[in-house]
């Protein structure tokens, strides 16, 4: 059995006020409920909660991870050197790699209690991913690449929402362009839009700034934080990019199978 590691929480300093009347809401992803009178409550909505996860590869590499709780609209930076387990943790949190111990709850659902098919459907609805490699479809426009976020899971695209997201990140004049005609920074912004546009409970970003210069790296990181806060998504960024430490308020550092809190 893995050792019990501490839980790392990324929360706002003050819980938000939600207008729920008595009795208090009974939702699995609501924690830290405080009654404030007249049938109203302060409470935190945890978009992702994981507990004491571990995974061992057949070649002998083994990792144990602390519990993670990230509130809706908050962000967490996970850093560490190559081989520290960042990619393994990302795959576990995204529902691609079942842990051998521990659980992952996203939007109140224990994702590894779902079978693989249902987990794929859940991921398409509730998890946005900004991949290190963009995986754009070169033959279609920038707008159509965003609309794929819906089409890939059999949903009707929200063209208005897609255009609003492109406008918010300064790509409204590039809607009809092809992805290969965008600059490196613009391509990264397009990747972020595709991950966040459906307002997922959880947005995961894999090395989103590793190929960018200092100016674009800081801009992309700030955009990720601002958008996830605006859309109410929990943001988890996995990276070895030390430049981001000054941008993110919450950081969890991995060192092989051990963790250190900043």
* Residue 137 pLDDT greater than 70, yes or no: yes
Q: What is the predicted pLDDT for the residue at 43?
A: 47
Task: Answer for the pair 102, 2: CB distance below 8 angstroms, yes or no.
Answer: yes
Whole-angstrom Cα distance, residue 63 to residue 133? 25
**Segment 126-130 mean pLDDT:** 93
Burial class (CB in 10 A: 0-12, 13-18, 19+), 93: buried
Confidence of residue 212 (pLDDT cuts 50, 70, 90): confident
Residue 7, preceding bond cis, omega within 30 degrees? no
Backbone angles phi, psi at 162, to 5 degrees: -65, -45
More confident residue, 202 or 257: 202
Those residues with Cβ within 8 angstroms of residue 133's Cβ, 6 or more apart along the chain or in another chain: none
Beta carbons within 8 Å of 59's beta carbon, 6+ residues apart: none
Summarize pLDDT for 156-200 with one digit per residue, the tens: 999 999 999 999 889 999 999 999 999 988 998 999 999 999 999
DSSP, res 210: T
Instruction: Please provide residue 44's backbone torsions phi and psi, each rounded to the nearest 5 degrees.
Output: -105, 135
Q: Which CATH class is domain 7-261?
A: alpha beta
Query: Minimal CA–CA distance to 108: which of 44, 20, 48?
Result: 48
Q: What are the residue ranges of helices labelled H in 42-113?
A: 86-93
Q: How many CB atoms lie within 10 A of CB 187?
A: 18
């Amino acid at each position: 059995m893995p050792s019990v590691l501490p839980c790392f929480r990324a929360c706002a300093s003050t819980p938000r006020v939600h207008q729920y009347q008595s009795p208090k809401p009974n939702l699995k992803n609501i924690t830290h409920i405080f009654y404030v009178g007249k049938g109203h409550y302060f409470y935190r909505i945890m978009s992702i909660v994981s507990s004491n996860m571990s995974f061992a590869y057949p070649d002998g590499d083994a990792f144990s991870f602390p519990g993670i709780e990230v509130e809706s609209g908050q962000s967490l930076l996970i850093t560490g050197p190559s081989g520290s387990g960042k990619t393994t943790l990302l795959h576990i949190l995204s529902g691609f790699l079942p842990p051998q111990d521990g659980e992952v709850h996203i939007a109140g659902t224990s994702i590894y209690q779902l079978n693989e098919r249902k987990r794929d459907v859940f991921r398409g609805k509730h998890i946005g991913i900004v991949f290190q490699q963009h995986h754009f479809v070169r033959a279609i426009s920038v707008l159509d690449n965003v609309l794929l976020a819906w089409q890939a899971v059999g949903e009707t695209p929200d063209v208005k929402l897609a255009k609003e997201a492109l406008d918010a990140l300064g790509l409204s004049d590039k809607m009809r362009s092809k992805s290969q005609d965008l600059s490196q920074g613009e391509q990264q912004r397009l990747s972020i839009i595709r991950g966040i546009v459906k307002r997922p409970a959880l947005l995961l970003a894999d090395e989103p700034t590793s190929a960018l210069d200092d100016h674009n790296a800081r801009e992309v990181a700030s955009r990720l934080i601002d958008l996830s806060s605006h859309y109410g998504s929990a943001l988890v960024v996995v990276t070895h990019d030390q430049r981001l430490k000054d941008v993110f308020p919450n950081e969890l550092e991995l060192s092989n199978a051990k963790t250190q809190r900043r």
